[in-house]
Amino acid sequence: MRELLALGLLRGSPDGELRAVAPEEAVASVVGPLDRDIRIRRALAEQARASIMGFLPVFQSSQFSREKENKFEVLEELTQVRAVIADLAARSRTEILTAQPGGGRAEDSLKEAAPRDRDAIGRGVRLRVLYQHTARFNRGTSAYIDQVIELGAQVRTLDDHFGNFLVFDAETAIISLPANPLGAVVVREPNVVAFIVETYERLWLTADPCVLAPGARAEVAGDVRQAIVRLLAEGMTDASIATRLGMSVRTCRRHIADMMEELGAQSRFQAGYLLASPAQRDPVRTRRGIGRHPRPSGQNRVTVPERERQGEAC
């Protein structure tokens, strides 16, 4: 009885008796005021939203101004770095420069970068990517390279190590922190950014282009071997050479063992001496990646072992 009264389906009469009310009439008397209240509240909410969003341009302008004034910003957390990169990529207009040393990239990094790069290229932004040679032999990274090249990006690789950084529209650079690989510093100072861009251009000119052609990745194997030879002759340890060239220590040691066997050396010291000896700098050894003279461009490339093409090098 109490529920029927609350729903308006029963109503008291002047003589004190309860009278049944038609459901449609009860709806009008009970639900109608609620509907009107909801419409009023919705209208107030829309008015408040419009008033608040009216300040968005002012806020964005002031935030951009603060960013421009803050020439250097240190980010300690990976989440912060990724958020800034995503924002800069979304706002980029002309070109994104990427320098990623260290061989193959982590799978989660590639998954994050792929849609961001697709979107940028789709907007007409030029994308250039710089890796080390060993990145070509990592399955995930090589698949990413093929994907972005097909979209219109340019990718090149170097044998030696270089800095880890990105540049957006030649206005903002992000450089990794040496003491914190998960952090980065955001650089907006024009002169510093210009220097970073010039550094990138110098690296780019000396790098080998990646092309979508059968066996193209194997062509840089000779360069990797020659880089190992050069660093071995300088007395660097296996771990140091592996880190510098972006490969695993095991792969580095396998290359060194193969070269020692080819040289007939019984120790690393003897191998270093033989490699530094003028007698070892003949054209035959150069073609095999053992000599110290660089080979002529496009000639005498050495094929990478099948086990490295399967991604073991990184």
pLDDT per residue over 12-46, tens digit each? 666 667 777 777 777 777 777 888 888 898 899 98
Half-sphere exposure of 227 (CA within 13 A, CB side): 22
Q: Which pLDDT score, from 0 to 100, does residue 313 have? A: 31
| pLDDT tops 60 at residue 121 | yes
Which residue would you say has higher pLDDT here, 132 or 289?
132
| pLDDT tops 50 at residue 311 | no
pLDDT (tens digit per residue) in 163-172: 899 999 999 9
| SS3 labels along 220-288 | HHHHHHHHHHHHHHCCCCHHHHHHHHCCCHHHHHHHHHHHHHHHCCCCHHHHHHHHHCHHHCCHHHHHC
Half-sphere exposure of 171 (CA within 13 A, CB side): 12
pLDDT (tens digit per residue) in 210-243: 875 555 555 556 677 777 777 877 777 878 887 7
> Which distant-in-sequence residues (6+ apart) come within 8 Å of 158 by Cβ?
130, 131, 132, 133, 203, 206, 207, 208
Q: Which amino acid is at 141?
A: T
Torsion of CA 268, 273, 277, 280, to 10 degrees: -20
Report CA Rg, the chain.
Answer: 33
Report the mean per-residue pLDDT for the chain.
77
| pLDDT tops 50 at residue 186 | yes
pTM value > 0.85: no
| pLDDT tops 80 at residue 291 | no
